[in-house]
């Protein structure tokens, strides 16, 4: 169990690290998203239907690549290490986030996710590009630089 201070209200929250890998922890007092690593580097963020707006649409000044995936999807599992590498190399230039489409059907339907993996690139809350299917690290990085 980790104790994480909420950046919004300052409340201390106990968070189970294993559960936080699959579900976005939120502050018990104000409901703001909690992050195990405040520096945001090194790992993709987990996004849910409830945290999508806050984590993706409200992010300003850096592009957000949202990986729409499912546990049973082989190509999704193949691309996961590539996205982990991109997140570790981001140095604040962009953010990598992951949305499990089976657990978050509302957001998947809103963006018409019909096949996975699908990666959506947002800039200042606007969808600017879509990558469908497994792609190379270089191809994904090139799309993020555009």
Q: Which residues are catalytic?
A: 73, 76
Q: Which residues of 89-99 are buried (b: 16+ CB within 10 A; e: fewer)?
A: ebeeebbbbbb
Residue 93 CB contacts under 8 Å (≥ 6 apart), including other chains: 62, 144
3 state DSSP class of 144: helix
What is the DSSP code (8-state) at residue 11?
A: -
Q: What is the C-alpha to C-alpha distance for residues 146 and 141, in angstroms, rounded to an integer?
A: 9
Residue written as token pair 């169990």: 1
Interhelix angle 137-145/74-89, nearest 10 degrees: 50
For the chain, what is the largest distance between any 2 Cα atoms, rounded to a whole number of angstroms?
42
């Amino acid at each position: 169990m980790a104790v994480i201070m909420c950046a919004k209200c300052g409340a201390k929250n106990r968070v189970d690290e294993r559960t936080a890998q699959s579900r976005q922890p939120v502050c018990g007092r104000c409901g703001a998203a909690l992050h195990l690593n405040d520096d945001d580097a090194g790992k993709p963020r987990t996004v849910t239907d409830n945290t999508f707006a806050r984590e993706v649409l409200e992010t300003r000044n850096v592009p957000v690549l949202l990986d729409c995936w499912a546990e049973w999807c082989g190509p999704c599992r193949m691309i996961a290490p590539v996205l982990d590498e991109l997140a570790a190399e981001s140095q604040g230039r962009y953010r990598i986030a992951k949305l499990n489409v089976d657990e978050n059907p509302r957001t998947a339907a809103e963006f018409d996710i019909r096949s996975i993996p699908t990666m959506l690139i947002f800039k200042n809350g606007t969808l600017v590009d879509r990558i469908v299917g497994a792609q190379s690290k270089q191809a994904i990085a090139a799309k993020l630089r555009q």
